[in-house]
Structure formats: C-alpha cells, structure tokens
Amino acid sequence: MKRKAPSRKASKRKTTSAELRRLGTEKTNSASADLDRKSALEIARIINREDAKVAAAVKRSLRKIAQAIDRIAAALSQGGRLIYVGTGTSGRIAALDAVECPPTFDVDPRMVQFIIAGGPKALGAAVEADEDSRELGRKAIAEKKPTKKDVVVGIAASGRTPFTIAAIEYARAHGAETVAVVCNPKSPLGKAAHLAIVADVGAEVVTGSTRMKAGTAQKMILNMLTTGAMTRLGYVYGNLMVNLHPKNAKLVERGVSILEEAAGLNNAAARKILAAAGGRVPVALVMAKAEISRALAVDALRESQGQVRKAIAIAKPT
C-alpha cells in the first residue's frame, strides 16, 4: 500500500519542533532534574544558582547595550520615540519599563511606548495565540507610524516570535532604527534588526519557562536602555532621580532627601525651598544651586528642556 506523503503543515510542525529543541532556552536543564522531588529550600537554591548566571550573560552584551543606549538617546533628543514590541512575558516586561519612565524621569508618556500582542488585556491574561500572527504584528506597529526619528526594540527570548519579527521588519522598512533583545544567538529577530543584544542565559529551571532567567535578563537590559538613555539626556542629576513627581508622602520625603544631598541643605531648608518651588524638585534644585527665584528657575529648565544640570549652568550668575 502506497504511503501518503506528509502534509506541508505536518512537515512544518516537525521542523518547528526540531528548531525549538535546538534553542538554548528550550533545552532541559540537568541542574534541575527531579525538581519535583526537592524540598522548598532545595528548589530555592537551584533557582538561585541559575539566576546567578544571568548577570554574566548580560555582561557579555554590554557593548551592544551601550550602542543601543546611544541610539535611543539620539532619537529621543530629536523628538523621536522608543517603542517596545513583545508578546507574553516579553511584552509585559516591556510594558513595565515603558510605564515607569514618566514617573521616574518626568518625561512625556509618548516618549517611551509599548506594543504587546493581544493589546492591553494581555497584560493581565494570556493571549498567546496572537504571537504567531505576522499580520497582527505589522498592524500593531503600523498604528504607531514609525519613522526615521524612532527606535523600535523587539523583545523575544526565543528570537523567533512571528508577531515581533514582523513588527521589527515593518519598522525598519519605514526608516526606524531597530534593536532586538533575545536570549538565543543567530535568531531570526536578531537578523531582522539593525542591532541584536543577545543574553544567552541557557536552559531554564523549568524547561522552556522563559519568564525565569530569560525574563530576568530582559528586565535587566531594558532597565539599562531607558536608564542609560535618560541619564545621557540629562534627566538624572549625579545619580539622583531629580525629576520625580512627589505625589505621595514617600515621594515627598524622597524629594526632600534629594535636595538635602544635591544642594547641601538641611531638612528644614529643603522643605522650605521645595514648597516655594510648588513641590517641583527640579525647580527647587535649580533655585537652590543657582540662588535664583522660582520664575527664573522655571525659565532655565524650559530653556534646557528639563535637564537640571544644564539649567543650573544657564541660570547661575557668572
């Protein structure tokens, strides 16, 4: 009896399965064999030992990370945007980094944006099927209208996610600078982007669960990208988060502490000048360092585009 040739769909499924097994992030980790037989303390120790490898994997990509920081800072300084694209865990980590930029650096929410497959509802519930759609990836990034002013960063542990690859290809074709953050070398996503940052963290404690080491590596890298770019742009003074918005008691106290340290004020003087500045830490710091009025400090910050060190230089009498 003549056998039927395997269907194209079955053949593709077999190829995909074989490709997945070759990925470092999909391999079985011998260090966590028989994990289900371990005590709670043994499980914690195994995970901790594996997590200790993440920083070293990220360290190997520091030069590429630095290149990405400079490209992002250059884009943002010209009025461009940083747009993250990801699915599942990668998309949620991207969203976390993006939404924390405005309260940390006092930047416009449009400056750092995110796209996650499945839309905002995917932040709280798994919408995994969408990640296989190249069409949805293209559509999502097309809605952002990327241009040569922007940097689009695609995040995917495997480096194979169709949604993210298609978004990066679209952004690149429309002139945007593109960066890939992946955890496997020579990936399709890495090849699609101008610059590939690879954190080769190896096999996960729970096989294929890239929310673990891969997710940690991605979080570390995105922290570096935004913190590095914002620092290069002058939104950090020394190592102080001077552009914070003191909207609650904790942040008010942090603002007072920043003024004490940066301007050499005692606690009472820091509180007084913060009140005189209308609760705005950057304004208070420029007032204190340049010994000028609130109005002049506001003008200097406007002229320096919110960069405190530059504003002090502008306002300080020679």
Residues identified as active-site = 100, 131
Q: What size, in residues, is the chain?
A: 318
User: How many Å apart are CA 40 and CA 285, to the nearest integer?
Assistant: 49
Q: DSSP assignment of 229-275, as one string?
A: HHHHTT-SBTTB-TT----SHHHHHHHHHHHHHHH---HHHHHHHHH
Helix (H) or strand (E) holding 314: helix 308-315
Q: What is the DSSP secondary structure assignment for residue 203, as one 8-state letter?
A: S
| Residue showing tokens 């593709």 | 12
Beta partners for residue 115, in sequence order: 85
Closest CA to 83 of 108, 110, 109, 114: 114
Beta-strand runs (E) in 101-194: 112-116, 151-156, 177-182
CB under 8 A, 24+ apart: contacts of 15-19: 19/160
User: How many Å apart are CA 73 and CA 275, to the nearest integer?
Assistant: 32
Task: Please compute Rg for the chain using Cα positions.
Answer: 23
